[in-house]
Structures are given as structure tokens and as C-alpha cells.
Amino acid sequence: MKFIDTIIWVFMALIGMVYAESVGTDTSEVTEQPDIPEIPNYVPHVPQVQDPEQLEYPEPVTLEQLDISTYTQEIFTVDLIETKKYTVEGHTCTVDMIYFEGSCSGEYFNGELIYKDSSTVVKSFKDGSVEDIARIYIKGTDNNNNAARIHIEDVFLGNDENGRGISRPNIIAEIEELVWLETADVIGIAEKTEKGKRVRYLWSGKNDKPYPVVPKVPKIDAEKFTNKFLTIDVSIPGLGFEYLVGPAAGALKLGFTCSTNTTEFKGVGADYFVDTRYNYPGYPQKISARYIIEGVDDEGNPMKIFVENKGTDDYGDNRNVQTVPFIITDNPKWAWVETAPVHGTHSDVALQIFFWTVEGADQQQQQQQQQPELPEPQPTEVPVVPEQPQPTEVPAVPEQPQQPQQSKQVDTSKYTKEVFAVNLIETHKYSVDGNTCYVEMIYLEGSCAGEYFNGELIFKDSSTVVKRFKDGRIESTARYYVNGTDYENNAGHIHFEDNLLGYDENQRPVTVPTIITDIQNLAWLQTADIIGVMEKTDEGRLVHYMWNESNTTKKPFPVARYPDESKNYNKKVLTVDVIPGGLGFDGFQGVEGTGVAKLGFNCFANTTTFQGEGVDYFVDTRYIFSGQPQSLSARYIMEGVDDEGNKMKIYVQNDGLDDNGDNQNVRTEPLIITDNPKWAWIETAPLHGNMTMEGSIQILFWTVDNAFQQPENPENPEDPEVLELPGEVEETPYMVDITEGIEDEDESSSDEESEQPKQPEVPANPEQPQQPQQPKQVDTSKYTKEVFAVNLIETHKYSVDGNTCFVEMIYLEGSCAGEYFNGELIFKDSSTVVKRFKDGRIESTARYYVNGTDYENNAGHIHFEDNLLGYDENQRPVTVPTIITDIQNLAWLQTADIIGVMEKTDEGRLVHYMWNESNTTKKPFPVARYPDESKNYNKKVLTVDVIPGGLGFDGFQGVEGTGVAKLGFNCFANTTTFQGEGVDYFVDTRYIFSGQPQSLSARYIMEGVDDEGNKMKIYVQNDGLDDNGDNQNVRTEPLIITDNPKWAWIETAPLHGNMTMEGSIQILFWTVDEADLN
């Protein structure tokens, strides 16, 4: 983290140096302005640099001081379209933060708003006064077609006699031809439009307006501001960095998101935000960051805060940042903060902002204390703004990445050869404003032109879907299908699936396409290193596809993703009837084993809970890549009514597999978004889909028991549907005995203690699911037959206290006894791993391997992999085992409906495995998970040398096509960045299930030193596949946890692993470029 910050501060210091050069004492270059014949009275006004502490600050201009009739010459007009709005209803003020899109047109400048920092904040105070400051950032050309950007900070002054909003803009221009705007006497006159407002900027003909004053914020009085009440964690770069360096002034835009994780307030930013830095000649750098965070207080009550963090940085190098924050909140307990004296500082070692107040300020809520703030105008009338924001407008091809991560600046310097360009035109759009997500489905037309291919988009499946989650994530996928000819006039097709990678140095979106074609001449496109660089047009977007000819490594094809079939999906929630045809069927067999199929359809639903129909025609897209099952993805929106007659809409993204492409084994993992509050649960519930074709085509959607009965406040421990983890775990997450402090039933307790509800145990064999959700109460009433019990004894334990997670690896001994099987645990692979993430999630997997005999004395083995399902009514942990055995008499155990019920013992745990005899449906085997191979893993970060043997090799061929292998090993690393060795013996576990590739999972801990001699530990969980079980094509998606702060980045970075066996066995770990800088 410190290394990241150093890079940021150096970057910002360099920007500050650029500004310093442009606003220094030598103003000869700035004052020599070009001739501007259209403006005969232009006289530039650029003050000399002065000592900020000796400046006299004039009072801001008020509406009463202006004679509006003298502003007669229109410079340009800005059309503002509201896209979204966030509100905080405070105690002294209501704050609206409104995002804009739009355009600028006029005699002197024409352009488009740059979305990432075009916004306004309206503060409506309870005393009737209103403050409204809009920031508008425009990219375009001047009247001589010179490319340029201008930044407008528009300060609302009040309303004129006709009710129009009057504002005073502070303009910063990038080029000398427009620098006269910075000192021109201009006002804005706003009028309401259907989608927002139109602001006409009028000039009086004078150029005597001074630059905005920037009062220096005094250094914090450390003896006075001693109460730190809030810490904000900042993540960069949000929507990116950008800076405008003009001849006289400048503006710097630092994109970010934020969160807070304190005992008093936990929350995340409502959207992306921008820290705006202004450099005006003669003044320190002005800072202003505006953001809203939503979350809960220490009692679990929902709360929101708005922060406007205003201040100064003397030299623009972050060495002396001082701020005076303005904070508004809807939480009554925090009302004091709105009027208390508050000061802000930032961390020198992490991306954190600290807010301080004086002692006792939080206990003097009734006392009105004057908040120090930067002098800005305080208008008294409400500005003209629309009452309701319009839905977010998104470009035809979304500019956000599909993963919930920040977009980076992409080095496009090697992508020098344009292959072709695709012109995209939006035709129509549908949306669903869901409970967790806002979805837009946008249909496209257009064409493709270039050296290698020319053609037209086929409308039936040229579309994009943008999903804007309420937690700030944005996912999107654009698909377009082009029919045309190559450079030798060979007819054929190209199919694109396009996702964002980041932004180039000019802030143009950069995408990575997956390309499929049936033209042999263009086969190389499918694996070439190609990116798309986007430019906005009047009708949509133009995507330039650029090729890095120097990279001869073939890009791998996407990997089919298996849906999660590990749960018991027994509750049908929706049936959708499919009408095949729609806009028709199409597709092609591509080159090199690829292919794509387009299955047009419409749809409707006629159930008791929802009746509706599709809003348009849709397409089920099928992908074929050699050696993989056929993948499918259908996206559609339906409108209708619920069971009470309320209007509702549903968006469905049904992604899954059809192994043989014959619709006989379709299974999906759907995402459903709806605007119906009663259906809100479905957006986060585990879902499964399948298809029936008996008489008609129907898609059936299923969930698990009680998924739709989630309580509104899952933190309420009295609600039986969702249970909290034991308090002891949260308070002491790194205890050696993770059940310490939980008394056994036979232990004595006071009367007072006996009245308290019994807390659930957290045994050595961990009971938490891998998903970040609370375990539920399990109805165990049908599980009445005990199959056997396994007694677990802990022998030794190792741990790694990582940056995002605390890991414990626990070795086990024990025995199994019961009616059907008796035996002893084999030590070499009887162990459990508990991962306690710092965000509250707990993941765990226990594996034990038993050698014994069945009820007829047949010798054999049973292998368990055990995970938590929830707790029973007595708060005992309940697990779900995956069982593999080589005893034919016990084959039924592999697919039986069995749970484990745990009890604490003096030495560990006793797990009773209970059978639901009434459930005759066979439980499916786990599905092998393909590692993510969609990224360019080109940076090697770690090499681990493997010493095979360890505690030996073992395994067995199970019944019904199953199997398990145990490959013992130890390991060491001898690299320049880390030297260390394994703390014990470990096991690489291999699983075999019929019809699936062999899966593998190796877990181990190494201890050693880094390149500076500092002690460090690493935990590795290397999960992946070995298709044929011969170690020739091992590929993994590792998780690495370490206690070394320099290596913290590796815990969240995308990682890939493979194996080499040349001379020795080595595991190589790779990441993407710059992952270690994020």
C-alpha cells in the first residue's frame, strides 16, 4: 500500500510541478494573447503570484450587484441531462448530488460533457438558503476547430424575476485561444427542460473578472482537534485521472470510490466520485471532493452521510493538505457533526482521509457551534433544477468493466495497426430499475469497415446490456454480429463480444473483444492481441479495433463456466414460456473449432405470482469452443403484473451450459433483476434454471428453501431465518481455539447467563459457506437415521495473518464408527483450512480420509469434503459432505441426502452424519470449476519448487465413475523476492467425477524472508484442473494470503498458475501487468 501511495504522490507532485510552471511569476507567455477580432475589448487579467497569507480576499459577487440586462452576447449554451441523483436528508440541510450528461454548442466552443466529473451538489438549508455549485467538464473544439477542453465551476447566485436560475461561472481553458474566458464577465441563465436544464452563458463585453480567491486553510491545531471520529478509505482510480493544464490556470480530476469500516459507521460510496484540484495564479491549490456514503451505524441503523471536503494544498504535492469538511447525515445520533468544528487530514502511508473534531463536540448536540468553512456565496433562493432525475443514459457500448474493479489507464502504444472500425448506432432501449441494480438493454445497428473486413451489423443480436449495481459495481457486455466480406472478397461473418479494459491516456474507453469468425483468412483474429478504442459520435460510438502485431502469443479462448449445482434447488419460483423464432435463427461454424448460434425468441409468463410478456424480440446466444461444452446466454426483459395487480418488470440473464448442444441437458445460473419490492429477494438468492420441451418450451427457475424469506434486518439475532456468527469470533478472530468462551451444555452457569440465548458453536471443522452470507437455520427434522459418526481430534495448527484474511490450517486425527462403516482417519490428508476475511466473511473446507470396513466387513475407503450449511434449532453446526467411496455397498452414500450435525468434545468435534431416507432424489456430484483464463497473465510473481513424496501417495478409484488421489509433497521457494520452505507435509488432492476434467486442490503454508530480509509467511490454495490427470495441462486459479504488507496486493490480484516438470517440478504463479501497483 505504501508503494502504491508513493506512486500516486509522485504522480500528483509532477502534476503540481507542471502547474507551477504554468502559473509562476514569469507571466510573459500568458499575457501575450492572440488577436481575437470577435472580442475587441479583450484585456487579459492575470495577477502576479503573491503570498497567500498576505492576500486580501474580496467579497463574492451577489445577484443584487449584477445588471443582467448588460449581458447580451451569448458565448455558448450547455444542455444538461440529469442521469441520476443521490439525496441525504440531514438535520440542518438536505443535499442532492446530481450527475449530468450533455453537450455544449455556440459561436466560440462546441463539445460534449465528459461524464466522469459533470455533476452538481444542491444544499437546501433548513433556514431557507440554498447553495448550488455545478462542475461541468467539456471536451470539444473552438471556433477555429482547435481541439480543447474547458472546465466550468458554476456557482448559483439566485433566481431572476422570471424564475430563471442565475449563476456565475469560473471557467478554465486548456488553450490560449480560449483563455480570455477565464476573466470574461459572464453569467449563466438556466431554464428547465424535459430532461434537465439548459444554461445560456452570456457575456457583458468586459474582461475584468478576477480569478476565484483561494483562502489558505490553516494547519490543524493538533492540541485542539484530538477526537478522530471518522476514517474514509479511498480506492483509486474510480473513473480515472485527468488533468487540464491551461496557459494561466489548471484543473486536476482524481477519480475515486470510497468506504468506511469503523465501529461507529460502516458503509460504501454510493457511486464514483472525483477529487477536483484547482490551480489559480497566485493562490495555493484548491481541493474539493464531494461524495455520499451509505451504510449502517454501530446499532445497525441505516444511515447516509454527505461529505464535501474542501481545503488547500500549498504546492499541489500533497505535502501540506489541510481541509475543512462539511458533513451532512440523516442519522440523529450524528446530528452534532453538521455544526461542530471539523478538520481533515490524510494518511502518509495509506489512502485514508481522517476527520477530527474537538473533545466533547459529539456531546453538545444542542449547542450551535459555528463551522469554519471556505467563504463561498450563500444564495437565498432555490435553483432551477428538475424535480425528478431521468434514468441514467449509458453509451451504446458501456464504458465500464465487467468485473467489480476499478478501470486502469491502458498503455495502447503497442497497438498501432487498425484492423477495422465498427460504427454503432443506438436504436432503442429498455430498462429495469431493480432493488440492487439498474439494468439497461440497448439495441444497436451499424457497420464495420477496414482493411481486413467490411460489413453490416445484423440487428437481431447486436445489443448491449449495462448493469449498474447499487453498491457501485458496473457490469456490461456488448454483442454484435456482422455479415460481410474480407480483403479478398470472401463472404462470411464476425461475432464480437466486447468488454471494457480501461482508458487510454486521452480518456478514451479501451475494450477487449472476443472474436469468432467463419472466414479462414481471418482465423488469426480469434487469438490476436486486439483492443478496441472508442470515440463518441453524434449517433453512438465508433470503435477502432487496434492490433498489437509484436505480440505473437495466441490469446486463449474464453472458458465455459459451469453453473453452481452444489445446492438443493427444490423451490420453483418462475416459469417462462418461450416462443421460438423471434427475429429468426442464425449462426455459423467458425474456424479452428469455434462457432456461434443465434436462436431468436419471444417469451411470456403466466403464473400466479407474475403474468407478463417480453418487451421485444430476444436472442439466445450459443458459443462453441473446441474441447468445451456449449455455453449459452439469453438476455431479456418482461413487463407485466404481480399477484396483486401491481405493475412490474423483470430482467433475466440466463447463462449456462448445454453439453451436447441438443437442449437435452440445459442448466443455468440465472441473474434476475426486478423493480418489484416483494421480489427483491430474488436478486441475491441462489438460482438455478433448466429447460423442458414437453409440448412447449419452458424455462424453469428454482431456488433453495427459505431463500425468499430473508429478513429485512439480517443483523437481528432474534430472527430465526438468518443467524449471526458467534460474538466471540468477531471480537477475537485470531484465537487459537475458535470456540473458546462458548460453554458446554454440562458446564454450570449463573441464572443470568442461563437466560441468554445459546450461541452457535464454531468448530475446528469450519462451518461457514464460501459465499459471503450468513448461515441459515436448517430444518433437520427429516434427517432421522444416523449413518455413522466421525470423531475429530486436532493435532497441530499453522496460521498466516494476512492483509485481507487470517488463515488457519489445522491437522486432524480421529475415527469413524457406525452401522454402515467403521475405520480410522489417515493422517496425511485429514485437515481443515479456515479463512477469516477482514470484511467478515469466513470460508472453510475440511477434508478427511478414512480407511476401514463396511457392515459386511468389506475393506475400503471413504473421503469426506465437508462445508457448513447452517445451524439446527439447538444452534449446533450443520454441514453438507461430499462423499467418495470405493465400497460398492456404500455407493448410495455418494448421492444420498446426508448432513453432518456437530457437537463439541474435549478433544475436538464429533460429527453425526444423518440421512434423510425419505428423499430418494440423487444429489448431483460437484461440478469442476474452470479457472479464469480470459486475462493476459504475463507477469510471473512466484515460483514454488515441489518435492514429491511427503507423507506418501494414496488414492482410490471410487464407485460410479468417481475417484480421489492424494499426492503428498513438501515445497520451497528460492526467488529474489521470497525465500522460504513449507512448514509441514502437504497433500495435492485430485477429484474425479464422470464426464468432468480432473480437479485439483493443494493447500500449503511457507515461512521465509523477503528481499529485504523481513520474515514473512505465505498461504497458498491452488485450485484448478488437470484435464487428463497426467500433469500435462495443469492450470489453476490460486488464492495467496501473506503477512507481508509489501505483498498485500497479491491477495486481491487476478492470479493464474501452471506446472513445469523439466528437470524438477515447479509451480509458476502469474498475474497481469501492474497488478502489483493496484
Question: Residue 545's closest CA among 447, 410, 417?
Answer: 417
CATH number of this structure's domain 939-1077? 2.40.160.20
CATH number of this structure's domain 38-47+60-203? 2.40.160.20
- Three-state secondary-structure class, residue 727: helix
Determine the pLDDT at residue 54.
42
Determine the pLDDT at residue 776.
65
In whole angstroms, what is the distance from residue 174 CA to residue 616 CA? 46
Q: To 5 degrees, how large is the angle CA 890–CA 894–CA 898?
A: 100
Determine the pLDDT at residue 742.
28
Q: To 5 degrees, how large is the angle CA 660–CA 664–CA 668?
A: 85
CA 104 distance to own-chain centroid: 32
* Amino acid occupying residue 573: V
Q: To 5 degrees, how large is the angle CA 124–CA 128–CA 131?
A: 40
Determine the pLDDT at residue 363.
65
Q: Is 723 within 8 Å of 868 (Cβ atoms)?
A: no
Would 38-47+60-203 and 939-1077 be classified into the same CATH topology? yes
Helix (H) or strand (E) run with residue 105 in it: strand 93-105
The secondary structure of residue 225, as a DSSP letter, is: -
CATH fold for domain 571-709: Porin (2.40.160)
- Three-state secondary-structure class, residue 767: coil
Q: Residue 1035 forms beta bridges with which residues?
A: 1025, 1058
Instruction: Identify the residue whose cell numbers are 432503442.
Output: 428
Q: Residue 12 forms beta bridges with which residues?
A: none
CATH number of this structure's domain 408-547? 2.40.160.20
* Amino acid occupying residue 465: V
Q: Which CATH architecture has domain 2-24+215-363?
A: Beta Barrel (2.40)
- Three-state secondary-structure class, residue 145: coil
The secondary structure of residue 753, as a DSSP letter, is: H
All residue ranges of the chain with pLDDT < 50 are 1-57, 365-407, 710-774, 1078
| Beta carbons within 8 Å of 645's beta carbon, 6+ residues apart | none
Domains of the chain by residue range? 2-24+215-363, 38-47+60-203, 408-547, 571-709, 727-742+753-915, 939-1077
In whole angstroms, what is the distance from residue 1002 CA to residue 1005 CA? 10
Measure Cα distances from 533 to 139, 427, 471, 486, 516 in Å: 17, 22, 27, 21, 19
In whole angstroms, what is the distance from residue 828 CA to residue 716 CA? 42
Strand 408-409 with 491-503, pairing: parallel
Measure Cα distances from 368 to 123, 337, 339, 905 in Å: 19, 11, 6, 59
Instruction: Identify the residue whose cell numbers are 523439466.
Output: 1062
In whole angstroms, what is the distance from residue 1005 CA to residue 984 CA? 8
Q: To 5 degrees, how large is the angle CA 748–CA 753–CA 758?
A: 90
Question: Residue 492's closest CA among 524, 516, 513, 514?
Answer: 516
Residues 779-795 pLDDT 10s: 899 999 999 999 999 88
b/e burial code for range 403-424 (CB count within 10 A of at least 16 → b): beebbbebebeebeeebbbbbb
Q: Is 932 within 8 Å of 1025 (Cβ atoms)?
A: no
Question: Residue 446's closest CA among 426, 420, 471, 467?
Answer: 426
Q: CB neighbours (10 Å) of residue 753?
A: 9
Question: Residue 775's closest CA among 754, 761, 785?
Answer: 761
Q: To 5 degrees, how large is the angle CA 411–CA 413–CA 415?
A: 100
**What are residue 711's phi and psi, to 5 degrees?**
-70, 155
Strand 463-469 with 474-486, pairing: antiparallel
Question: Residue 556's closest CA among 608, 621, 626, 496?
Answer: 626
CATH number of this structure's domain 727-742+753-915? 2.40.160.20
In whole angstroms, what is the distance from residue 875 CA to residue 777 CA? 8
Q: Is 85 within 8 Å of 99 (Cβ atoms)?
A: yes
